[in-house]
Structure 1
Amino acid sequence: MPSAAPGGGKSSHRREAVARAALMRMCEAGDQVMGRLVEAQGAVDAFDRIRLHELPSEFVDEEMARARKQRRTFDAAKLISAWTNRLDSADPLTDLRIGEEQGGRLVVPGDVEWPTQLDDLETGQPLGLWLHGSADLRFSCLRSVGVVGARAATPYGTHVATEIAAGLSSAGWGVVSGGAYGIDGAAHRGALAGATPTVAVLACGADVCYPSGHQDLFAAIRKSGLIVSECPPGVRPTRARFLVRNRLIAALSRGTLVVEAALRSGALNTAAHALALKRHLGAVPGPITSLNSAGCHRLIRDAKATCVTSCEEMIDLVGVLGEEAAVEQGGPVVPHDVLSPNTRLVLDAVPARRGAGPATIATTAGVDLPTALSSLGSLAAAGYVERVPQGWRLRHTRNTRHSPSSSASG
C-alpha cells in the first residue's frame, strides 16, 4: 500500500473518500462485518485498525456473540488476514485518479449526491459507489422504478419491458436496472426513449463493459444517465456479485417491477430484497404456459406482488397516494351506456321481433306506465325502437340496435 494512505494533511472528506476506496478493495461488496465495523468506528478509523491488525475488543466480542447465536464461527485473525492480503495490492489514490481520468467519480455517504434511501440497507449499505455518467444519482433515484427480469427474455417480455420503461421515463420516472441482456437491456433502451435518466447498476467495475454486447447501450446510458457500481475499477463480475448487486437495485428505487422471471431467477432475488426493504413490488403476468413467467405468477398468487400491466399501473403503485393514480380501465363507451337507468330497463323490456304494448313493457321493466311511455318516446327519437301494429319493438335498421342477449354478453 502506498504511503499516501489517509493522512493528516488532507481534508476530512478526502480522507474519508480515500479510506472508503481502500476498504472497497479489501472486502467484497455487501460485507456485513465490514459494514458493522465502519458503522462502529468510522471508515478512517476502521482502515487504520485493519492496517495495524487490531480490531476493537468490544467489536470482536460482539461479532463472536452474533456468530454463536447464528451457529457459525467467527475468526477475527483469519478475517483480518483476508482483508490485509488485499490491502497489500490496494492503491486507493490510484483508483481515484484512474476513475476521474475515465470520467468517473466516487460518492460516499454524506455527499450531496448520495441517495439517502440506501440507509435502509443499514450495515449492508455500500461503502461507496463509483459513478460514470452525466446525471445526478440522488435526483435520478428520487422517483425511480427498478425493472428486472429474465436474461433469456421472450419477445413478449422484451416488448413489455420496453413499453413500460418508455412510459415511465416519459412520465418523469427513472428506470433502474442491472444492464444485463434480456429484460434489463430492454428496460434501459425503453427508458432512453424518454427524458428521464436511466441507471444501470453493475456487478463489476463501472469501467468494465459486461456484457460486452452492451457497449453501445452503456455509452448511451453514460451520456444521459448513470452507470453505477460498488466494485472498484477493473473488477470483473462473479455470480456472488450479481446477487449482492440486486439489493442496490431494490434499495435505490421506490418499487421494483418483475417483467419476466422463471421460478429460479435472479430477478426473484431482487424481488426478495424489495420486500425485505418494504418497497413496492409489481409483477407482469404472462402466458400461463410460459416458464419465463412462472416466477411472476407465483409472486402474484402468493400476494407478494401487485399485478401490473402498464406503466400507469406501476406509477399508481409507487406514486404518491391520490396524485398519480392510474386511470381506471374499462370497455368502450357505447350509446346504451349513456341512457338513464329507467330508460335502460324499458329498452331491455322491448321485444326484438314482435311488438308489445306500453303496459306490457312497463310491467316487464318494473316501471309505471307514464315512465314507460316517456322512455319509449326518447328511445324512438334516438332510433332504438319503432312503433309497429302490435306496439313497440327494437328498430332493426339501426347498426347500434340493442338486444337483451347483446347486453348480457357485455
Structure 2
Amino acid sequence: MTVSDDERFARATLCYIAEPCDRLLGRMIQRFGAVGALDAVRAGKAPPGLFSGEPERRRLAEHMDRWRVRLPSADPEADLTVCAKLDGRMICPGEPEWPTQLDALGDRAPYALWLRGPADLRYACLRSIAMVGARAATSYGNRVAADMGAELADRGCTIVSGGALGIDAAAHRGALAAGGATVAVLANGVDRLYPPRNEGLLTEIARTSLLVSEWPPGTTPTRLRFLVRNRVIAALTKGTVVVEADLRSGALNTAKFARELNRPVMAVPGPVTSLVSRGCHRWLRDGVATCVSNAAEVMDTVGRIGDDLAPEPRGPVMPRDDLEPVTRLVLEAVPARGSAGPAQIAVRAGVDIGTARSRLGLLAAAGFIERRGQGWRLPRPRRKGRP
C-alpha cells in the first residue's frame, strides 16, 4: 500500500501537535483518516456523529484547543528532512515496514513512527522479545539481562527495549555482542541520544539495528513520555521479560500493557532480599507472570509450538540411576560399613539367593561393590592425596 503525500504530511503534523496515545484523536483518525482529523483540528470542530456523549465532546474541545496552539509552529517538511539527514525515515500504518501487531492497540496506536537505522522494523519484530527492568539495576540483574539478551539473539530473536540505563542497556548490549538485532524505543526524537551515558550504545544501535520513536526530531523526553512509549515496546513483541523491577516501576508498566494485549509476561526471580526485585516476586506470587531463568524457558513460553520447547530440568544423573530395579534393590542392601554375605543381602533386598548372587557379580564387575572376606560392602571413598 502506498501512502499519499497528504497523508504522510498530516501524520507528521499530528505527531508534532498531539501527544501519542490520545484515544480521542486515535478515534478520529480511525474514522476519518489522518487528513480528515487534521482538517477537523484546523477548523476547531469535531466531525459530526463521532462522539455522542457530552463529556467526550467537552474533552475533545479542550484537546483541540491545545493542538491548535501548536499548529502554527508545526513544520512537517522540516521534520522529515531532519530525519532523512540522519539516514532515517517516517513510516505510516499500511506501509510495508509497518508492524501490523501495533494495530492491536486500537485507538491508542501510534499516528506514525520515526525510525533511524538500517533494519526493517516489521521484519525485525516478527520474532522479538521485550526485555525491561530497573534503571538502578544490580550486578546480578545486568548479568542476567546481558546473558539472556545474547542467548535470545543467538536463537534469532530481536531484543526490544527502551534504551535506558540498567537492564535496558544490558539487554541491548547482550544482543549486540551476539551479533543480533536490537530495537530501542525512545521517549524522544531519534536525533537525541538520551540518556547521555548511553550515547555510545544508542549510536551503535542506530548504526546496526534501529532506533524508534513516536515523536518527531527535536522532541525531548519527559516522565509521561517514558510511560506512554512502553505500550509500543509491549505491542511490538511476542512477549515481555521483566528482569528486575520494584513494586512501582516503568518496567511493570510495560508488562501491564503486554497483559492487556494478551501477550505473555515473564519475570526473572531475584534474591529475596533485593528491593529491585519486589515487583517481579509479587507478580510471580500472584500468578501474573511466568517464572523464567534462561533463554530456553523464554522461548518455551513465546516460541513456536513443538520447535522451541525448553528441555526438562534435571539434577545430575548418577551411575546407579541406570540400573534396573532388582539390581538397584540388591545394591541398596549392601552395607557401607563392615560386610554382609549373599544370604543376608538377599533377605534385606527381598530376593532369592540365586538372584542376589547373580546381581552381586554384576555389581562387582561394574565397580559398585567390593569383596570383603566372605562378604560384600560398598567401596570406601578415597581420600585426596592418597593413591
Smaller-chain TM-score bracket: over 0.9
1:196 maps to 180
2:135–2:166: 8 Å Cα contact kept in structure 1? yes
Which residue identity lines up with residue 300 of structure 1 in the other structure? Answer: L
Q: Which runs of 5+ in 1 are unaligned?
A: 1-10, 68-72, 400-410
Q: Residue 288 of structure 2 aligns to a residue in which SS?
A: coil
Q: 2:274 matched to 1:298?
A: no
Spell out, residue by residue over 1:142-171, the C-alpha distance to the aligned partner (whole angstroms, 9 max, x if none). 111100000011111111111110111111
Q: Residue 147 of structure 1 aligns to a residue in which SS?
A: strand
Q: Which runs of 5+ in 2 are unaligned?
A: none
Shift of 1:12: 4.9
2:103 maps to 119
Structure 2 matches for 1:164-179, cutoff 5 A?
Answer: 164-179=148-163
Q: 2:117 matched to 1:145?
A: no
Q: Distance in 1 between matches of 2:358 and 2:124?
A: 61
1:172–1:195: 8 Å Cα contact kept in structure 2? no
1:60–1:76: 8 Å Cα contact kept in structure 2? no
Shift of 1:398: 6.7
RMSD (CA atoms): 1.7
2:25 maps to 34
Q: Distance in 2 between matches of 1:296 and 1:388?
A: 57
Q: 2:15 matched to 1:24?
A: yes
Spell out, residue by residue over 1:183-238, the C-alpha distance to the aligned partner (whole angstroms, 9 max, x if none). 10111011101232100000111111110111111111011110000011111111
The correspondence for 2:194, drawn from 196, 210, 217, is 210
The correspondence for 2:171, drawn from 187, 200, 206, is 187
Q: Distance in 2 between matches of 1:15 and 1:367?
A: 90
The correspondence for 2:77, drawn from 66, 69, 93, is 93
Shift of 1:242: 0.5
Q: Distance in 2 between matches of 1:175 and 1:106?
A: 21
The correspondence for 1:45, drawn from 26, 30, 36, is 36
Shift of 1:76: 3.6
Q: Name the count of aligned residue pairs.
A: 382
Output the TM-score relative to the length of structure 1: 0.89
Q: 2:302 matched to 1:311?
A: no
2:3–2:95: 8 Å Cα contact kept in structure 1? no
Shift of 1:43: 1.1
Q: Distance in 1 between matches of 2:360 and 2:159?
A: 56
Q: 2:149 matched to 1:158?
A: no
Shift of 1:331: 2.3
Q: Distance in 2 between matches of 1:263 and 1:152?
A: 14
- 371-380 vs 355-364, which moves further: 355-364
Change beyond 3 A, Cα 1:318–1:307 = same
Which residue identity lines up with residue 279 of structure 1 in the other structure? Answer: R
Change beyond 3 A, Cα 1:83–1:300 = same
Q: Residue 151 of structure 1 aligns to a residue in which SS?
A: coil
1:209–1:218: 8 Å Cα contact kept in structure 2? yes
1:141–1:252: 8 Å Cα contact kept in structure 2? yes
The correspondence for 2:228, drawn from 220, 236, 244, is 244
Identity across the alignment (%) = 53
Q: Residue 52 of structure 2 aligns to a residue in which SS?
A: helix
2:160–2:185: 8 Å Cα contact kept in structure 1? yes
Change beyond 3 A, Cα 1:161–1:363 = same
Change beyond 3 A, Cα 1:358–1:234 = same
Q: Distance in 2 between matches of 1:12 and 1:397?
A: 77
1:130 maps to 114
Output the TM-score relative to the length of structure 2: 0.95
2:327 maps to 343
Change beyond 3 A, Cα 1:381–1:239 = same
The correspondence for 2:58, drawn from 37, 51, 74, is 74
Change beyond 3 A, Cα 1:301–1:76 = closer
